[in-house]
């Protein structure tokens, strides 16, 4: 999740990109060649990103159902022109599996340092992004800069990691509905997507990815990474999973929804989540229809709000969602079936993790509340997981992952991984 009032940090989209290019070139002329070099590199990346955004559409389109294949198998890939300096990047479409065991197609990016990999290959960090929306167009890999939401990317590349970043099912790929189901806060689907992004990185000719794996996610991505860690021993046993790190993870879903629902953030997150659950579970779960949990006005706006992204369409989301505050839920999802069971099934922590866990939480977070994260940390310790917990002082939801990176890198080093 990621609050509509505090979007994740990034470079922005087309208008900001073009402004930066102009500013960069102006300063280059004024200040001289040395300073110009770095600005020219940034400007070149952004200019290339504009071209990428205008031409990438066909890559994501899948007009016919794709024949089933092993999870992680590439459907297609292409190199991305505006990779971060010192790296090579690819856009990928790959096979994964949803919560029902169905073969699906998912998009994402893979980024690797330039140069020859070490013997045995580079370790992989598979990243789970915070909420950007639920529509096809809201995928992080789509747009001018497909890397701006991968928090800690530069530190990880500098340390020698291959970074795999899934979009999650239902975002990015524009194809048959059966192969692109909703995935918002559906733990098994998201977790499989994260693990299969790492498999896709290994399938590429270029990154030099090995089998050592760490998982890293923020907010919604924290929930996804935690599910990936739970699933890895049986779903992806070929990996040597070293650990999972999360920042302000979405845990205790019923408690989080209850805490957030009195404001626009909760209404927006609720629209994404309840729509996904109704779509994915509704056909086989009696009672999993929107009108059993939402008021009539909220249910009527679900499709319209679900078509909007947090980044770039925030104003429209607020306009639609704010009148629903105080008139959103028709029943308590924590006690109303089947919603209570569905939320519990998609809450991480049902089994102890077999690898160490790092949890970062901002003390000023008003979306993923510190007390909910503290309860999750205690639960994990109680069931036998080895947990390192870090409070990031003076930090809200949007910046916690970036500010946690020094501690994350130190923790990775403690696991015998590069830092």
Q: Phi first, then psi: what are they for 80, rounded to 5°?
A: -100, 130
Residue with tokens 């960090």: 125
Task: Give the strand pairing for 103-113 and 87-97.
Answer: antiparallel
Q: How far apart are CA 140 and CA 220, in angstroms?
A: 13
% of the chain beyond a pLDDT of 70 = 87
Tell which residue, 170, 275, 152, has the closest CA to residue 215.
Answer: 152
Judge whether 171 and 133 are in contact, CB under 8 Å. Answer: yes
pLDDT reported for residue 354: 95
Q: What backbone phi and psi angles, to 5 degrees, belong to 391?
A: -95, 125
> In the prediction, which pLDDT does 2 show?
52
Per-position DSSP letters for 376-396, written without gaps between them: HHHHHHHTT--EEEEEETT--
Per-residue pLDDT of 42-88, as tens digits, reads 444 344 444 454 445 799 999 999 999 999 999 999 999 999 999 99
Predicted local distance difference test score (pLDDT) of residue 144? 85
Q: What is the mean pLDDT of residues 282-295?
A: 96
pLDDT at residue 243 tops 60: yes
pLDDT (average), residues 93-113: 98
Average pLDDT over residues 400-410: 98
- Asked if residues 376 and 359 have their Cβ atoms less than 8 Å apart, the reply is yes
Neighbours of 374 (CB within 10 A): 14
* Interatomic CA distance for residues 345 and 354, integer angstroms: 19
Please tell me the predicted confidence (pLDDT) of residue 56: 54
Instruction: Average the pLDDT over 252-272 and give the result.
Output: 92
Pairwise CA distance, residues 188 & 45, whole Å: 35
Counting Cα atoms < 13 Å in the Cβ hemisphere of 335 gives 5
Q: What is the mean pLDDT of the chain?
A: 89
Closest CA to 246 of 262, 224, 276, 278: 224
Q: What percent of the chain has pLDDT over 90?
A: 84
Contacts of 112 (CB under 8 A, 6+ apart): 87, 88, 89, 122, 157, 162, 163, 201, 206, 207, 208, 209
Structure tokens at 12: 């922005």
Q: How far is CA 197 from the centre of its chain?
A: 12
Q: Is the pLDDT of residue 37 over 70?
A: no
Q: For residues 195 and 180, what is the distance between their CA atoms, to the nearest angstrom?
A: 17
Instruction: Report which DSSP code applies to 74.
Output: E
pLDDT tens by residue, 155-187? 999 999 999 999 999 999 999 999 999 999 999
Written as one string, the DSSP assignment of 200-265 is HHHHSSSS-EEEEEEEEEETHHHHHHHHHHHHHHHH-TTSEEEEEEEES---SHHHHHHHHTTSHH
Three-class HEC string of 13-45: CHHHHHHHHHHHHHHHHHHCHHHHHHHHHHHHH
pLDDT grade, residue 124 (50/70/90)?
very high
Q: DSSP 3-state assignment of 52?
A: helix
Q: Which residues contact 7 (CB under 8 A, 6 or more apart)?
A: 310, 311, 314, 398
């Amino acid at each position: 999740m990621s609050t509509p009032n505090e979007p994740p940090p990034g470079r922005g989209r087309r208008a900001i990109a073009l402004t930066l290019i102009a500013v960069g070139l102006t300063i280059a002329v004024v200040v001289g060649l040395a300073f110009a070099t770095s600005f020219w590199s940034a400007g070149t990346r952004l200019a290339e990103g504009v071209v990428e955004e205008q031409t990438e559409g066909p890559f994501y389109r899948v007009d016919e159902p794709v024949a089933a294949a092993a999870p992680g198998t590439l459907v297609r890939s292409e190199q991305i022109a505006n990779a971060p300096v010192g790296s090579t990047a690819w856009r990928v479409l790959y096979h994964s599996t949803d919560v029902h065991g169905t073969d699906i197609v998912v998009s994402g990016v893979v980024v690797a340092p330039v140069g020859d990999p070490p013997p045995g290959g580079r370790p992989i960090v598979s990243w789970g992004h915070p909420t950007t929306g639920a529509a096809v167009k809201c995928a992080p890999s789509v747009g001018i800069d497909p890397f701006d939401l991968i928090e800690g990317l530069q530190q990880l590349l500098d340390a020698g990691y291959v970074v795999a970043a899934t979009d999650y099912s239902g975002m990015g790929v524009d194809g048959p509905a059966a192969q692109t189901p909703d995935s918002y806060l559906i733990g098994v689907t998201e977790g499989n997507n994260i693990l299969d992004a790492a498999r896709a990185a290994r399938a590429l000719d270029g990154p030099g990815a090995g089998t050592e794996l760490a998982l890293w996610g923020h907010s919604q991505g924290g929930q996804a990474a935690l599910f990936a860690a739970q699933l890895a021993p049986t779903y992806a046993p070929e990996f040597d999973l070293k650990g999972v790190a999360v920042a302000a993870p979405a845990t205790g879903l019923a408690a989080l929804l209850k805490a957030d629902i009195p404001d626009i953030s909760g209404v927006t997150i609720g629209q994404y989540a309840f729509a996904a659950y109704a779509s994915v579970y509704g056909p086989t779960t009696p009672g999993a229809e929107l009108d059993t949990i939402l008021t009539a006005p909220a249910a009527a706006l679900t499709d319209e709000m679900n078509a909007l992204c947090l980044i770039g369409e925030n104003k429209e989301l607020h306009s639609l969602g704010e009148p629903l505050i105080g008139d959103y839920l028709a029943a308590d999802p924590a006690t109303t079936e089947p919603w209570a069971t569905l939320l519990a099934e998609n809450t991480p922590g049902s089994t102890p993790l077999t690898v160490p866990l790092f949890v970062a939480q901002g003390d000023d977070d008003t979306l993923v509340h510190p007390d909910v994260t503290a309860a999750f940390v205690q639960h994990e310790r109680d069931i036998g997981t080895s947990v390192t917990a870090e409070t990031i002082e003076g930090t809200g939801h949007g910046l916690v992952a970036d500010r946690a990176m020094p501690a994350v890198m130190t923790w990775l080093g403690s696991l015998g991984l590069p830092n």
